[in-house]
């Protein structure tokens, strides 16, 4: 058992404790900006990590009878700091309507609510899908890395040809078609942006960088504001050696499922041009927000798993229902030639519905053959942990879709546009955000 000596007591009188939050500090929390809130969310998890490590170290030393007074003091201070940050983030979340809705959801606490507020800019997210992509929950968007980006660029540009430049010089007819839109708020298509850039004698990237709104839209009004009246024809600027055409940038964007405006912002140099090197560097960057992915997809998902037995829970029940469905699909196979497709239970040696995905994982990832997961994949099945993660992501994506609805309506005073699938015949199932509207 550790004992407190006179030296220990003398030391403790010279160590200042963590200051408790006062009323003024808590009031200041309501005026935090997104950058400050993001910093505090990161700091909370850093402090939590050190608190857990310190507690583990104390338990280990208690087993060997080693003194741990300083560690106990550190643990106490870390707990106070962790609670203080959580309180501040809770006050920040309560000061915003979407944050108050998030706090009303069973399984979402002050830190997760503040993370959603701080990292999601609703003005940049027209749809829930935009948030899913930003949170790394769009399976069609891959993190290429340096090697992958270089290989992808070479493949795409090789198909187009080194001299590919389909950005035709704008004609008077095409210009008149663009300018015929009386509403200055008209959003230009990617091709129209390229036409106007040519007409104005400016690189296409410059229009995206200087005239695009937070969502990546370029409007006629924004172009007029930045470049003056759009009238008369101008000579197209000569392409600089080593720069890419608009068509090449668009081809890369479509092939990698990236937003053209986003690639332009990341890859356009100071002169307004995009080069092969700058676009490769932009493609190599992680295409999602790492913190939001961890907090929304994992931490919230696991929180929903823990609260699924509470009467007030919504997303934990959804997780449980989805997991049952994922397990059913994992153990079913399609009957060849059946119209419509019928599914029957698999028997020993038969692959399930996820057989192609299992084969792809074995082909693209390094799975240790000694692991239990490898045994599942070689059978054409997904292991239990993979099924668990799929169900967890399903619940997280639904929560983010509901958050998008709440934040959109709070910002614009109207409901967001319905997802495309709900506008199609036979697709009418819609689950509204629980507890919405709220005060």
DSSP per-residue codes, 24-74: HHHHHHTT--HHHHHHHHHHHHHHHHHHHHHHHHHHHHHHTT---HHHHHH
Which residue shows structure tokens 């399984």?
A: 107
* 230-288 pLDDT tens trace: 554 343 444 556 688 777 888 888 889 888 888 888 888 877 788 889 999 999 999 99
pTM of the full predicted structure? 0.81
Which is it for strands 332-334 and 343-345: parallel, antiparallel or unpaired?
Answer: antiparallel
The answer to whether 129 and 257 are in contact (CB under 8 A) is no
Could you give the percent of the chain with pLDDT greater than 70? Answer: 82
Per-residue confidence at 47, pLDDT binned at 50, 70, 90? very high
Give the Cα separation of 294 and 38 in Å (integer): 13
Give me 92's structure tokens.
Answer: 């920040």
Cα dihedral sign, 315-318-324-325: negative
Look at 133 and 8; give whichever has higher pLDDT: 133
The answer to whether 110 and 117 are in contact (CB under 8 A) is no
* 48-80 pLDDT tens trace: 999 999 999 888 888 777 767 888 899 999 999
Give the Cα separation of 70 and 15 in Å (integer): 11
Helix (H, G, I), strand (E, B) or coil at 264: helix
Buried b / exposed e over 199-228, threshold 16 CB at 10 Å, is bbebbbbbbbbbbbeeebbbbbebbeeebe
List the single range of 177-186, 200-209, 251-260, 356-365 with lowest mean pLDDT: 177-186
Say which residues have a Cβ less than 8 Å from residue 129's Cβ, sequence separation at least 6: 138, 419
The answer to whether 252 and 264 are in contact (CB under 8 A) is no
Look at 433 and 199; give whichever has higher pLDDT: 433
pLDDT at 122 over 90: yes
Residue-range domain boundaries for the chain: 6-134, 145-284, 290-423
Cα dihedral sign, 286-288-290-294: negative
* 312-366 pLDDT tens trace: 999 999 999 999 999 988 988 777 777 777 777 777 767 778 989 999 999 988 9
Average pLDDT along the chain: 82
Which residue shows structure tokens 């403790």?
A: 12
Look at 316 and 185; give whichever has higher pLDDT: 316
**What per-residue confidence (pLDDT) applies to 406?**
96
**What per-residue confidence (pLDDT) applies to 16?**
61
Per-residue confidence at 387, pLDDT binned at 50, 70, 90? very high
* 70-115 pLDDT tens trace: 888 999 999 999 999 999 999 999 999 999 999 999 999 999 999 9
Per-residue confidence at 163, pLDDT binned at 50, 70, 90? very low
- How many other CB atoms sit within 10 Å of the CB of residue 423? 10
């Amino acid at each position: 058992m550790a004992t407190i000596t006179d030296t220990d007591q003398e030391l403790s009188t010279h160590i200042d404790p963590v200051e408790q939050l006062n009323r003024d500090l808590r009031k200041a929390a309501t005026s935090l900006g997104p950058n400050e809130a993001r910093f505090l969310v990161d700091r909370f998890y850093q402090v939590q990590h050190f608190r857990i490590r310190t507690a583990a170290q104390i338990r280990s030393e208690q087993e060997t009878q080693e003194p741990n007074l300083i560690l106990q003091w550190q643990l106490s201070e870390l707990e106070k700091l962790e609670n203080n940050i959580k309180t501040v983030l809770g006050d920040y979340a309560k000061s915003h309507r979407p944050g108050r809705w998030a706090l009303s959801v069973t399984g979402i606490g002050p830190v997760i609510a503040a993370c959603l507020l701080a990292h999601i800019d609703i003005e940049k997210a027209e749809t829930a899908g935009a948030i899913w992509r930003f949170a790394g929950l769009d399976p069609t968007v891959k993190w290429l890395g340096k090697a992958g980006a270089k290989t992808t660029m070479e493949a795409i540009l090789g198909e187009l040809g080194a001299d590919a430049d389909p950005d035709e010089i704008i004609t008077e007819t095409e210009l008149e078609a663009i300018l015929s839109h009386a509403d200055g708020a008209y959003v230009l298509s990617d091709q129209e942006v390229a036409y106007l850039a040519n007409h104005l004698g400016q690189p296409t990237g410059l229009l995206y960088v200087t005239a695009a709104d937070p969502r990546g839209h370029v409007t006629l009004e924004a172009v007029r504001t930045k470049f003056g009246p759009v009238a008369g024809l101008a000579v197209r600027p000569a392409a600089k050696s080593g720069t890419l055409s608009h068509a090449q940038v668009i081809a890369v964007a479509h092939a990698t499922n990236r937003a053209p405006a986003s690639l332009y912002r990341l890859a356009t140099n100071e002169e307004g041009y995009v080069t092969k090197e700058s676009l490769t560097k932009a493609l190599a960057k992680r295409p999602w927000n790492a913190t939001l992915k961890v907090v929304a997809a994992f931490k919230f998902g696991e929180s929903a798993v823990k609260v699924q037995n509470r009467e007030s829970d919504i997303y934990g029940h959804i997780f449980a229902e989805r997991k049952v469905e994922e397990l059913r699909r994992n153990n079913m196979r399609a009957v060849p030639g059946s119209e419509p497709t019928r599914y029957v239970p698999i028997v020993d040696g038969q692959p399930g519905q996820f057989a192609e995905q299992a084969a792809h994982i074995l082909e693209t990832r390094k799975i240790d053959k000694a692991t239990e997961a490898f045994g599942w994949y070689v059978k054409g099945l997904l292991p239990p942990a993979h099924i668990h993660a799929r169900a967890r992501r399903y619940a997280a994506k639904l929560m983010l879709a509901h958050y998008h609805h709440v934040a959109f309506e709070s910002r614009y005073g109207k409901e967001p546009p319905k997802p495309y699938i709900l506008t199609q015949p036979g697709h009418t199932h819609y689950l509204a955000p629980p507890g919405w509207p709220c005060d």
